[in-house]
Every structure is written in C-alpha cells, then in structure tokens.
Amino acid sequence: MSDLNAYRASARAFLETMDAKYGRDARAGNTVEQDLALGRVYMAAKYDAGFGGINWPVDMGGQGLTHLHKIAFDGEEMQFGMPVGFFGISLGMPVPILMHYCEDKAFVKERVVKALRGEEIWCQMFSEPSGGSDLAALRTKVEPDGNGWKMNGQKIWTSWAQYCDYGVIVTRSDPTVAKHKGLTYFWIDMKAKGVDVRPIKLAGGDSHVNEVFFDDVRVEDSQRLGAVGAGFAVSLHTLMIERYIATDSGGFGPHLDEFVKLAKETDLNGRPAIEDGRMRSAIARNHAMRAGLDSITARAFAMMMAGMQPGPEGSLQKLVAVRSRQKLSELAMDMRGNQGLAFDEHAFVKTDWGTSWLNAPTGRIAGGSDEVLLNTIAEKILGLPQDHRPDKGIPFNAIPA
C-alpha cells in the first residue's frame, strides 16, 4: 500500500506541474481542435515524464507497473480535467487488443508509442445502425479478395473517428452461420481508400461520434486480429480489458459538494435552499448511494491488492451513478430557476449542471445502456434466464429482417 501511496503522491506532484498549462482552467473556451492539439502536447509530456502506458510492458514502450498503479494515476488525473478524452478509447481498448493479437511486434511497438504520445489515435468500430446493444446483429461484411479482404458497410457512434489514424473493427465474414459465429476482427487504416467518416451532431451540440462508411475497402489478411470466425470472442475480450477502470460515483458529472455549495448559496422561499427538506433528502440519498459505490470501488481495489478477484458488484457503477446524476442535475437546475436557463456550450460536464443534464442521456446509453446492464446483472450474476431470442441458432442470412 505504501508503494502505491508514494506512487499516487508522485503522480499528483507531476499533475500539479501540468495543471496551469493543461488543466480545466487552461482549457476553458478552447475549440475542439485547440483542445485536441493541447491534448497531444500533454500526452507527449506525460509520456516523457514516465506516466504513459503505466501498466503496459516495458518492451512495448510502457512502464511495466501494475493495473493498480494505472487506476491510481487515472483517479488523480481525473480531478484536474486534463484534455485526455480524445485518447481514452484509443488507449483503453484498440491498442491493447493490437498488442495482444497482432504478430508484427515492430509495427505494434511503433503504434503503441505513437498512441501513448498522442501522435496517433485509434477508434473502435462495433455499433451499427442495425445493432447497438445487439452487437452480433452487425451487417458490415468482408469477402475474400485475392490474398486479403474487401470490406463494405457502415458503422455508427464511433467516438473521435474524425481524428483517428487507425481503428479496430468487427465484421461479418460468413452470413451462413449463426450470428455470433460468422464474425471476424481486423485493424484498419482510417485514411484508407473507401473509408468515409461523417460526424454526427449530438443533443449537447458537440460531434464527438461519427458514422463511418466502407466502400470496397481493401484489408490485408495480416490486419486480421484473431482467427476467421472468432470476431465475437475478440470483441468480448476488447470489452473486458477495461473492466476495472477508475470510476466516478458522481456519474462523470459534478461532485455532490457542488450541489451542497449551490444549496447553501441559493435562497429558496426566503431561506437557504440547504434548509429545504426536498433538497436535504436529495442530498442525503445521493450521498448514501455514492458513498456505497465508492466503498465498492475501495473494496475492489483492496481485493486486487491482496491478489483476489473483485466481486461482480463493480458492474453497478455506471448504471447507478449516471442515471442519478441525470436527476440531480435536473434538481440543481430547478433550484436555480430561470437563472439556470442560460447555457454555455463549452462548459465542463463536471462543473456545470446544465451541461451535465444535457449530456447525461449519452452516458446512460453509451458503453452498455441501463437496460443492457440490468440484463447482464440479472443473467450473469443472479442466474436469471435470457430474454426470448427468436434469432438464436439460426443462420444470420435466414433471420427475418
């Protein structure tokens, strides 16, 4: 524990030296492009200081430390609001999967270091118009083409694809077998001929997700990750890599202290809102819930340090935290009345209730919707039966559209 505490302290000391140049205040008012440029410089500085690829192997350009060191660093970094959002998915899933499955190690190492330094960004292309929660319903197809493959179709909700250099993708290579069985996984060059990225403007006004179209895109067989037909297993592996990440019981919105502060400062019916029973109840319920999630995290952390496998209750974090953040944001806006009608599109989600509210639905859908998470808890933890699945065991091309 002392080693980890010392590491956390050194991480904090480093982050404090970076704060003035890259932290939340420094980023205020940046356009997305300015923020991305700033983020690339920060990533390089972080790498040079020895905080890039913390839990990745040294021979791949990482630091060779444990997963716990990574969580410790991320927990500290999150508090500074550094411009790292562009690189989260890239380093979280596609690059680790490349390290695991790609056999050309010299190529991999070059990609890893460039990704860690923010010079290259990777995206992950899973969801399609015909399948978000139902991943295996995907239709983007690959066909043998000489000694390689030809790809056609469309992906959607691909984060940061417009800025990406590479991506990982799961496609249908055999429509004549059951839907989970005919999938194959590749990495692709996002600048390749036939790849067309079109940003989607979201409710909050930003465009961090995209549609990606593939029109006869040439893919070499050396770009395949895992066996032909093993794409679903590689996809699940991808989703499992970041199973234990730095969580936020505030649902990635404002800290409850912000709500308490607002309630103390706001006059409601001639007295501070903090004295209003409705506000008090909301504060107390949210605190109890968040404290429980924090304790689950602390326990998972302690178990990992003791070499044990954390319990499945960690899967509650996003489900419980984000939906409650959504309601608390509404209440904060109610508390402000018409003073809360003003809206700043560039405000930060962790400090602004309006922004937190407007972006909360994304959090409840992306990375597993509330409903899918509830299904997973019910089926995997509690042993309840699967939903009725009429397409089960039927060849993909025989499933009624």
| Residues classed as catalytic | 242
By CB under 8 A, residue 372 contacts another protein:
no
Instruction: Show the site string, 335-354: x = touches another protein by CB under 8 A, - = not.
Output: --------------------
What are 301's two structure tokens?
């952390």
In this chain, which stretch among 17-25, 109-117, 316-324, 328-336 interacts with another protein, using CB under 8 A? 316-324
Question: Binding to another protein by residue 195, rule CB under 8 A?
Answer: no
Q: How far is the CB of 309 from another protein (least distance, A)?
A: 13
Nearest to 184 by CA among 157, 146, 148, 209: 148
How many residues touch another protein under the rule CB under 8 A: the total is: 42
Question: Helix count (H) and strand count (E) of the chain?
Answer: 13, 9
Distance, CA of 208 to CA of 201 (rounded, Å)? 8
For residues 140 and 144, give the distance between their C-alpha atoms in angstroms, rounded to a whole number: 14
Q: According to CB under 8 A, which one of 147, 203, 386, 400 is a site residue for another protein?
A: 386
Residues between 318 and 337 with contacts to another protein, criterion CB under 8 A: 319-320
Backbone angles phi, psi at 142, to 5 degrees: -120, 140
Instruction: Choose, by CB under 8 A, the member of 292, 340, 361, 395 that binds another protein.
Output: 292
Q: Which two tokens stand for residue 139?
A: 């239709």
Separation CA 188–CA 367 (nearest Å): 22
Write out the DSSP string of 302-356. HHHHTTPPPPGGGGGHHHHHHHHHHHHHHHHHHHHGGGG----TT--TTT-HHHH
Q: Which of 4, 195, 289, 347 binds another protein (CB under 8 A)?
A: 289
Q: 271-272 and 183-189: which strand pairing? A: unpaired
Q: Is 316 in the site for another protein (CB under 8 A)?
A: yes
Q: In this chain, which stretch among 107-115, 153-161, 173-181, 292-300 interacts with another protein, using CB under 8 A? A: 292-300
Q: Nearer to another protein by C-beta: 313 or 330?
A: 313
d(CA 228, CA 336) in angstroms, rounded, equals: 56
Using DSSP bridges, classify how beta strands 183-189 and 195-200 pair: parallel, antiparallel or unpaired: unpaired
What tokens does 274 get? Answer: 């903090």
Q: Given the complex with another protein, which of 240 and 374 has the nearer CB atom?
A: 374
Question: Is 384 one of the binding residues for another protein (CB under 8 A)?
Answer: yes
Residue among 55 and 375 whose Cβ is closer to another protein: 375
Q: How far is the CB of 335 from another protein (least distance, A)?
A: 14
Instruction: Pick from 341, 342, 382, 401 the residue near another protein by CB under 8 A.
Output: 382
- Tokens at 287, concatenated: 């605190």
Residue ranges that bind another protein, judged by CB under 8 A: 256, 260, 263-264, 274, 280-281, 283-285, 287-289, 291-293, 295-296, 298-299, 302-303, 306, 308, 313, 316, 319-320, 371, 374-375, 377-379, 381-388
